[in-house]
Amino acid sequence: MNRFEDFTTRIVQQVGKKEGPISPVMVNSASFGYGDSETGEGIFEGSIKKPLYARVGNPTSAQLEQVLASMDGGIGAVSASTGMGAIAMATLSLLRAGDEIISIGGLFGGTYSYFSETLPRFGISTKFFDVDALIEVENAITSETKVIFLESVGNPNMRLPDIATIAQIANAHGVALIVDNTTTPMSVLPLLLGADIVVYSTTKIITGNASALGGAVVYRPIAEGEDKFKSERYRDIQPFIQKMGAMALIAVAKKRALRDFGMSANGFGSYLTMLGLETLPLRMDRIVTTIESVAGKLSEAGFVVNHPCLADHPHHERYKTQFANGCGTIFTIDLGSKEKAFEFLNRSKLITITANIGDSRTLGLHMASTIYRDFDDATKAFLGITPGLVRISIGLESAYAIIDDFISASKI
Ligand SMILES: *Cc1c(COP(=O)(O)O)cnc(C)c1O
């Protein structure tokens, strides 16, 4: 049985309708008529569930939110204009000046500069740790720590976190755990491992074909009895818990982030995202299988490959046990120098050179001259960015075609 079998069945049923239009109905109106003033009052008050204004909710995006929430076992989701929008939403709705973030592993370049350059301007600081520095993480938690942030797979360092153990630490200290699961949707289910919030850039493998920018945040319910979000640490969200109960984190995100910052998804983008989402289990299954044969064969052919399916990777055991459904579409190869990396990419007939990941096509990018070009040497070393490093995102092509192309592109 294919490891994504259950998702294959559920997602196509949830995206398509049995009556009327089968493909999701694409609504792209910015505003919505209320009909009469009493209905308008009811919509604003919340007693009537109809669209208010597209910045705070769109019917097509609402369907996408339901499918994503069900995929991750959350109570609900809020879609966003981009993955960075989703990260901003998930964090800003919990944080205020003076708060601290603990960031573990990773880290995507945009997230790193958001944490290290932008948030400090608003009095929010971040400490960065390796995925295995869990004692240091525990010691760094203070009463001002509101968020522990984690990427499910280090991009591009390919280090794998022990998500369940990190969730135990977050829960023991009453701190929210946010997991950026962009690279491993359906393969890793962070809420089931004890995380509170999952963020996605749906731009990547979820849509899968570079047709739409998008993001989403999936939330767990607030528990009826004890819950860490009911503590003094999260005093700002107590009014939402009193009013909205289990759905409080979604209400906070909509009010604090969507309404006031406006990183809202649009109907057309959400429509395209759902068309991608319905084939995600099939694409994921193929790519996580292809990536193992490509990484293995290239490594045998003498490439310096970084992927945890290889026996010499420090997280090989964790890959086999906690990442049994694969760790997404990316791996890196180190060609030794910038010149060799450029030559390889330019000679390949198959690689599309771009900053994206998670596409139907195999993509590649030299890291130090692009996404990480403005980072100082110490930061590059921390993030694992060496001069010859090329990040590859495997697509739907045949493993044999990819291996042949890479081997011929590397021969001078
Ligand atoms: C691409 C990416 C983001 C940002 O997503 P955008 O849709 O480009 O804003 C965030 N996190 C990870 C891991 C990513 O790969």
DSSP 140-156: H--TTEEEEEEESS-TT
- Measured distance CA(29)–CA(60) in Å, rounded: 10
Ligand 1 atom closest to the CA of 356, numbered from 1: 1
Domain with CATH 3.40.640.10 in the chain: 5-269
The full length of the chain comes to: 412
Prediction pTM value = 0.96
Q: To which residue do tokens 């760094």 refer?
A: 140
Distance (angstroms) between ligand 1 centre and the Cα of 21 equals 32
- Measured distance CA(106)–CA(112) in Å, rounded: 9
Residue 412 pLDDT: 64
Residue with CA nearest ligand 1 atom 8:
83
Q: How many CA atoms lie within 13 A of 38 on its CB side?
A: 0
Distance (angstroms) between ligand 1 centre and the Cα of 203 equals 7
Ligand 1 atom closest to the CA of 183, numbered from 1: 13
- Mutation to probe ligand 1, out of 87, 157, 201, 393 (largest number of atoms < 8 A from CB): 201
Is the CB of residue 147 less than 8 Å from the CB of residue 91?
yes
- Measured distance CA(176)–CA(165) in Å, rounded: 14
Residue with CA nearest ligand 1 atom 5:
83
Distance (angstroms) between ligand 1 centre and the Cα of 324 equals 23
Residue 78 three-state SS: strand
Ligand 1 atom closest to the CA of 357, numbered from 1: 15
Distance (angstroms) between ligand 1 centre and the Cα of 83 equals 5
- Measured distance CA(190)–CA(184) in Å, rounded: 10
The CATH architecture to which 280-410 belongs is Alpha-Beta Complex (3.90)
Is the CB of residue 154 less than 8 Å from the CB of residue 306?
no
Residue-wise pLDDT tens for the chain (412 aa)? 467 988 999 999 999 999 999 999 999 999 999 999 999 999 999 899 999 999 999 999 999 999 999 999 999 999 999 999 999 999 999 999 999 999 998 788 899 999 999 999 999 999 999 999 999 999 999 999 999 999 999 988 999 999 999 999 999 999 999 999 999 999 999 999 999 999 999 999 999 999 999 999 999 999 999 999 999 999 999 999 999 999 999 999 999 999 999 999 999 999 999 999 999 999 999 999 999 999 999 999 999 999 999 999 999 999 999 999 999 999 999 999 999 999 999 999 999 999 999 999 999 999 999 998 988 888 888 778 999 999 999 999 999 999 999 999 998 6
Phi-psi map region of 365: left, alpha, beta (phi>0 left; psi -120 to 50 alpha): beta
H/E stretch holding 159: none
- Mutation to probe ligand 1, out of 153, 182, 354 (largest number of atoms < 8 A from CB): 182
Residue 333 three-state SS: strand
- Measured distance CA(242)–CA(220) in Å, rounded: 16
- Mutation to probe ligand 1, out of 108, 159, 264 (largest number of atoms < 8 A from CB): 108
Q: To which residue do tokens 């990941």 refer?
A: 357
Residue with CA nearest ligand 1 atom 10:
83
Is the CB of residue 129 less than 8 Å from the CB of residue 102?
yes
Q: To which residue do tokens 């944490």 refer?
A: 115
DSSP-assigned letters across all residues of 366-399: ESTTTTTTTS-HHHHHHHT--TTEEEEE--SS-H
- Measured distance CA(233)–CA(175) in Å, rounded: 8
Domain with CATH 3.90.1150.10 in the chain: 280-410
Ligand 1 atom closest to the CA of 84, numbered from 1: 9
Q: Which amino acid makes up residue 197?
A: I
Residue with CA nearest ligand 1 atom 4:
83
The CATH classification of domain 5-269, taken from the options 1.25.40.80, 3.40.640.10, 2.40.50.180, 3.90.950.20:
3.40.640.10
Residue with CA nearest ligand 1 atom 6:
83
Distance (angstroms) between ligand 1 centre and the Cα of 77 equals 17
- Mutation to probe ligand 1, out of 79, 84, 272 (largest number of atoms < 8 A from CB): 84
Instruction: List pocket residues of ligand 1, CB cut-off 6 Å.
Output: 82-84, 108, 110-111, 151, 155, 180, 182-183, 201, 203-204, 213, 215, 357
